[in-house]
Structure 1
Amino acid sequence: MHLSDATWTDVRDADTDLALLPVGSTEQHGPHAPLGTDAMHAETVAEAGADRYDGSVVVAPPVSVGVSEEHRQFAGSLWVSPDTFRQYVRDVVRSLAHHGFNRVVVVNGHGGNVPALGEVTATITRHDDAYAVPFTWFEAVGEHSSDMGHGGPLETALLRATHPELVREDRMEEAQAGASDGWGDWVSRTNLAHDTAEFTENGVVGDPDAGDAELGDELLESAAASLDHLLQAVADRDVSRPPNR
């Protein structure tokens, strides 16, 4: 059940304590892919995982602006501070818990959100009346995870499978020409680059044309299966806090 489509009485009568909260970003994904790619993918994976799960789970509306200041040189990219993002996610989870959905998987579509989500889900679990864990879809697609990039093959493949009308296919050569091969500028296992514009001309990392719709279908199936497995574990887990030793 997606909260945006439900009535309040539907929600009142829902027989579950499980919820999925998609979070993404509004940021550049090269000249060929929309700014909303990460939020779209998070919501798509959340809905696919909910459909696969053998039980009831609610899907909250996505948090569509995240920790994305690294893309600030590219027009249209929006961001909030990590503090603001953590507090917003915490408040949304609190409101879900208020209605009885107190086991929450935060389904993430943006790499820049990962550190903040690890911190806030731990805080929620330790200090609030809820249990929360983060799930980043592109970290849960097996051997494909190493090909992530940015606006690259994985994100483009999933777009081609789920939102093909939003991919600017006529700009694919432009996207390839301005792309970098890897994320960052690394020396002694340290990334010297703080902003994406320092190492990619057009914001793309990886070859976007290497990701076709068939790969996108495979990615969605793999991510949904991983999320389904996680939901089962969260549903079965004893989430009470251990006593002091």
Structure 2
Amino acid sequence: MQLSDATWTDAATSDADVAIVPVGSTEQHGPHAPLGTDVFTAEAVAEAGAEEYDGEVVIAPSIPVGVAEEHRQFPGTLWVSEETFRSYVRETVGSLAYHGWDRVVLVNGHGGNVDALREVTGRITRHDDAYAVPFTWFEAVGEHSSEMGHGGPLETALLRHVSPAHVDEDRIADAREGASDGWGEWQSGVNLAYDSAEFTENGVVGDPTAGDAERGEVLLGLAAAALADLLDAVVTRDVERPEDR
């Protein structure tokens, strides 16, 4: 059930035993992909995973602005602090739990959200009346995960599959030309760069030409299957907190 499309009476009769919250970002993704890429991809994976899961799922409205100050030099990028983001996520999960949907998976499409999501879901699980876990789709696509960049092959491939109109094909060559090979500037295991503009001319990391629609279909299948397995694990897990030793 898509919560945004449902009436309150629909919600009242839902038998869903787990909820999904897509979490993205509004940020630059190079000259060829939209600012909403991380929202679009998170929503696509959330919907595909819910369809594959053998049970009823509530899909909450997406959280469209995340921890993205690292892209601030590129116009259109929006961001909030980690504190604001964590509070918003926590209170959203609390709202779902109030209605009985107290097992929640946050389906994430943005790398900058990862640390904050892990921290806040731990806090929710330890201190609130809910159990929550994060799921970042590009970490769940097997060997493809090693090629995750930014506006690169994986995100471009998934967009080409689920929403091809959102990819400006006339700018793909420019996107590749101005891209960096990897994320950051590294020394002694430390990333010296804080902002993406320090190491990529046009905001792209990785080669978007390596991400065709066929690959996007594969990526969606892998991510959906992994999410469906996670949903099952979350629903069946004993979430009682261990006693003090």
Displacement after TM superposition at 1:16 (Å): 2.2
Gaps of 5+ in 2: none
- Number of residue equivalences: 245
Look up the match of 1:233: 233
Partner of 1:242: 242
Other-structure match for 1:24: 24
Deviations 1:216-243 (CA, angstroms, capped at 9, x unpaired):
0000000000000000100100011111
Q: After the TM superposition, which of the residue ranges 1-10 and 131-140 deviates more from structure 2?
A: 1-10
Q: Tell me the residue number matched to 1:208.
A: 208
Q: How does 1:24-173 map to 2 (within 5 A)?
A: 24-173=24-173
TM-score scaled by structure 2? 0.99
Q: Take 2:6 and 2:51, find their aligned partners in 1: how far apart are those partners?
A: 16
**Map of 1:219 onto structure 2:** 219
Instruction: Give the residue type in structure 2 aligned to 1:116.
Output: A
Structure 1: 5+ residue stretches without partners: none
Give the match for residue 7 of structure 2: 7
CA distance in 2, matches of 1:4, 1:127: 28
Query: Could you list the per-position Cα deviations for residues 24-51 of structure 1 after superposition, in whole angstroms to 9, with x for gaps in the alignment?
Result: 0000000000000001111110011001
Q: Quick one: which amino acid aligns to residue 180 of structure 2?
A: S
State the identity %: 71
Superposition misfits of 4+ residues, deviation over 4 angstroms = none
Q: Deviations 1:61-117 (Å, cap 9, x if unpaired)?
A: 100000000000000000000000000000000000000000000000000000000
Secondary structure in 2 matching 1:107: strand
Distance 2:39 2:243 in 1: 38
**SS class of match (1:4):** helix
Counterparts of 1:243 and 1:205, CA distance in 2: 46
Taking structure 1 as the reference length, what is the TM-score of the superposition?
A: 0.99
Deviations 1:176-214 (A, max 9, x none): 110000000000000000000000000000000110000
